A and B are shown apart, each in its own frame.
Chain A
Amino acid sequence: MDSDAAPSVTPGAVAFVLENASPDAATGVPVPEIVLQVVDLKPIGTRFTFLASDGKDKIKTMLLTQLAPEVRSGNIQNLGVIRVLDYTCNTIGEKQEKVLIITKLEVVFKALDSEIKCEAEKQEEKPAILLSPKEESVVLSKPTNAPPLPPVVLKPKQEVKSASQIVNEQRGNAAPAARLAMTRRVHPLISLNPYQGNWIIKVRVTSKGNLRTYKNARGEGCVFNVELTDVDGTQIQATMFNEAAKKFYPMFELGKVYYISKGSLRVANKQFKTVHNDYEMTLNENAVVEEAEGETFIPQIQYNFVKIDQLGPYVGGRELVDVIGVVQSVSPTLSVRRKIDNETIPKRDIVVADDSSKTVTISLWNDLATTTGQELLDMVDSAPIIAIKSLKVSDFQGLSLSTVGRSTIVVNPDLPEAEQLRAWYDSEGKGTSMASIGSDMGASRVGGARSMYSDRVFLSHITSDPNLGQDKPVFFSLNAYISLIKPDQTMWYRACKTCNKKVTEAIGSGYWCEGCQKNDAECSLRYIMVIKVSDPTGEAWLSLFNDQAERIVGCSADELDRIRKEEGDDSYLLKLKEATWVPHLFRVSVTQNEYMNEKRQRITVRSEAPVDHAAEAKYMLEEIAKLTGC
């Protein structure tokens, strides 16, 4: 390609793609030469959109996520010229807008100085391509949790606009019917500060929390909050208490656009900060909230999806993640009793998979469990795709996700990621058997950022620091030999066959379970024991529960009880002896317990895995490399 010659676009290309929505083998439409100019390139979430221009017409265009690096690297730039090699043209959103989705392209020319315009069309066509102001503005500020801003060429005029400028622009371009709403002086969110009264903002509710009740020294009350996003992508959290909370809770609907005024701003409390804004908003009863009907232009919820196999580093962190996946299974609702206030909360577990071929369990709580959870249960056979915003990553069951108050779930979202995922699931995902990310973390496989090989310590690290686990449990991995299983300890308890809780012998016959509130003729034995383990630095006692103890002893507690009763103490002792001097990888939690007025460290085994010597050797090599600094 001669780069000196001014590249040109293909006239009529936009009309062509609108007519031929998907050129492929099925429709028999080959892709002709389609060269288009990139105008108004901007990021939306992890991908990019722009207007593709053939000099006469423009069409809203999205790049597949895989093409995002091309933009970040500067290959695709604003005002650049590209050749479209493969695409589909879809109708998207409430407005039934046609959107060109480019799946394959090559760059013809990096960036021209200006937009290519067909001379003849210039004057008469202009009104036809009426651009609303938002299409001309490039996102000015993004929450910093979004991917780093790519080298998009920002036009200099896209500085913070004054309200009057905005109104002018909007008036100038808006159709007469829309003008009524536009006459409001709408302030960009970024311009708000605590010292300024009298503003109106136009925002979309991108996250809506639950109405929560609280109790503190000053009494009881209720509170709820929403996250608001404006056209520039600026976000702010708004909180409502008591009367205001009750008033606005039913008004705010997720995804809808509102005009809001008469709120107050203050500096955001970093501790509870969830969006990137120095300020947060409080709305009291007198605040004015009005739905902007028919308004759809403000950015949808901004996701920052994390693939399931990349969740490891987020375990136990404060940062919340967004996940998109195919629902594999949905459990019935369970009630869980919360320890602090004895309240029962509905919970439902769902399993989702994504194209990293891993699955993860997500616990839905409260409304999400009962309402959305039921919806999902009803449609689970159709393998719906869900996008969840704001999930907590914990190491429960190895690795699992949990909704928090402000998590939101969108079923079958209208996102390119969802389309991609659907395509993957239909073509290969459906047929493959996928492993749970949680089981990976527990087992001895390396790869996950937090496996048995990450926070590995020696026993002395735990035993030499009596303050470990003072505030909350801390977790470590150990590689240790079992050195003693005391045969005379109480090794098991009688457990309810349904809930595993301790049962008491009922009067007459059978066993009474306090948890289930019923009598059962039978019970099972479950291990609860302590073992002594050793490693090169010392010894320690570990508490052990049923599942891990079964793996270590090699049989169930019922079986061991039978051996003892039927085969005698010698067989019983032999069984325990066989389990001794075997190396294991343990994942343990360390907590502080007060016992007889004395603080004691309690080390509890959370999971166990056999030692994989090859992986262990690799781990040691890495450690040596770290020590020797090479």
Chain B
Amino acid sequence: MDTSGPAAFVNGEILKMFVGRRVRTVVQAQREEGGLLIGQSTDGHQLTIKGASGAPMSHYVEIIGIAEPNQAIRAEVCTDFGENFDPAPFNGLCKLANGQMKDLFL
């Protein structure tokens, strides 16, 4: 396992603390604006994803990329999780991975 560039589990709120670093999140694709994907994070924020066009609308998409200011991510890897995805557990995971259970995560 490559641990050199770990991607932290984040939601919209936690994303702000990782600007400039690699993150992993799941958004629900809402619309595209000039090549940018606008998606809703699992805690209800609007995130702008660069370099992730073509995602089917209303599908959940996992994004791994570099966090940028203003709730944006420059995507490196995108994975379509389909429509059948429960955002609540992922959001719970993000909170645990950055809070109480931080020690368990890279």
Contacts and interface: CB of A to CB of B under 8 A. Distances in A.
A624 B86 contact: no
Contacts of B93: 617, 621
Contacts of A624: 96, 101
B34 interface: no
B100 A630 contact: yes
Nearest to A620: B89
B6 interface: no
Contacts of A630: 100
B105 interface: no
A618 B93 CA distance: 10
A628 to B, nearest CB: 6
Contacts of A614: 84-86, 89
Interface string A87-107: 000000000000000000000
Contacts of A618: 86, 88-89, 92
Interface string A41-63: 00000000000000000000000
A245 B85 CA distance: 63
Interface string A607-623: 00000001101101100
Contacts of A628: 100
A628 B100 CA distance: 8
A617 B100 contact: no
Interface string B82-106: 0011101110110010001100000
A541 to B, nearest CB: 32
A617 B89 contact: yes
Interface string B48-62: 000000000000000
A621 B100 contact: no
Nearest to B90: A617
**Could you say which interface size class chain B belongs to?**
10 to 19
A615 B86 CA distance: 8
A572 B70 CA distance: 59
A614 B92 CA distance: 12
A624 B93 CA distance: 10
Contacts of B100: 628, 630
A296 B89 CA distance: 58
Contacts of B86: 614-615, 617-618
Nearest to B85: A614
Nearest to B92: A621
B47 to A, nearest CB: 21
Contacts of A617: 86, 89-90, 92-93
Contacts of B92: 617-618, 621
A621 B100 CA distance: 13
Interface in A580-617: 614-615, 617
Q: Which of A618, A621, A628, A630 has the most CB of B within 10 A?
A: A621
Nearest to A630: B100
Contacts of B90: 617
A354 B32 CA distance: 46
A621 B101 CA distance: 12
Contacts of B101: 624
A94 to B, nearest CB: 55
Contacts of B89: 614, 617-618, 620-621
B100 to A, nearest CB: 6
Contacts of A615: 86
A172 to B, nearest CB: 66
A40 B89 CA distance: 52
B97 to A, nearest CB: 11
Contacts of B88: 618
A614 B83 CA distance: 13
Q: Which of B85, B86, B90 has the most CB of A within 10 A?
A: B86
A630 B92 CA distance: 12
A628 B89 CA distance: 17
B62 to A, nearest CB: 15
A373 B72 CA distance: 66
Contacts of A620: 89
A620 B93 CA distance: 10
Contacts of A621: 89, 92-93, 96
A59 B100 CA distance: 63
A630 B101 CA distance: 12
Interface string B21-59: 000000000000000000000000000000000000000
Q: Which of B85, B88, B89, B101 has the most CB of A within 10 A?
A: B89
Nearest to A628: B100
15 contacts: A614-B84, A614-B85, A614-B86, A614-B89, A617-B86, A617-B89, A617-B90, A617-B92, A618-B86, A618-B88, A618-B89, A618-B92, A621-B89, A621-B93, A624-B101
Interface of B: 84-86, 88-90, 92-93, 96, 100-101
Given A617-B86, A618-B89, A621-B93, 17 more contacts: A614-B84, A614-B85, A614-B86, A614-B89, A617-B89, A617-B90, A617-B93, A618-B86, A618-B88, A618-B92, A620-B89, A621-B89, A621-B92, A621-B96, A624-B96, A624-B101, A630-B100
In the A-B complex, the 8 residue pairs with the smallest Cβ-Cβ separation, listed nearest first, are: A617-B89, A614-B86, A621-B92, A618-B89, A628-B100, A621-B89, A614-B89, A618-B88
